Amino acid sequence: MTLYIEEEGTGSLPFDVKETAELIVETVLDCEECPYEAEVNLLLTDDEAIREMNREHRHIDRATDVLSFPMLEYETPGDLSGIEESADAFDPETGELMLGDIVISKDRVIAQAEEYGHSVRREYAFLIAHSMLHLLGYDHMEEEERWLMEDRQRKIMEKAGILR
């Protein structure tokens, strides 16, 4: 698994962001039984930059906690069967499955951790788990999808040992 992390903007998070991100990405890939080595890009930014991205990509003019940019489309969430038929799904240099990009607002991580009454690390880990599921085709627009995604998130966080 390759995780590329870039950090921009002001402020930083009070723990090892790389170690926690690697733990969660690996846990998601294990829980989803991904048979491939995977590649994920993670950008840590601030409210101002994520607001601009949210406005540009989703036409919503406000800061958000996390944005997900999947590289692949799935008929069924998490179903990687047949993905080998898509030549551009794999990095030609490394052979890794390119899942996509995650963008997280450090400002939102800190604010939401305080709002929800848990650690900043727990909020950060949760947002990565949530976004990784989006990169694997999960969504939460319909009630049934939301239940499935919430169940997966809970199991991932439990397996990673990062609890409320």
Residue 87 pLDDT:
75
**Residue 134 among known ligand-binding residues:** yes
Residue 153: closest CA among 35, 66, 36, 46: 66
The answer to whether residues 8 and 43 touch, using CB atoms and an 8 Å cutoff, is: yes
Residue 91 pLDDT:
95
CA distances from 121 to 19, 31, 102 (A): 11, 20, 16
Give per-10-residue mean pLDDT for the chain (164 aa): 95 95 98 96 98 97 98 92 86 96 98 97 98 97 94 98 91
**Residue 130 among known ligand-binding residues:** yes
**Single pTM value for the model:** 0.96
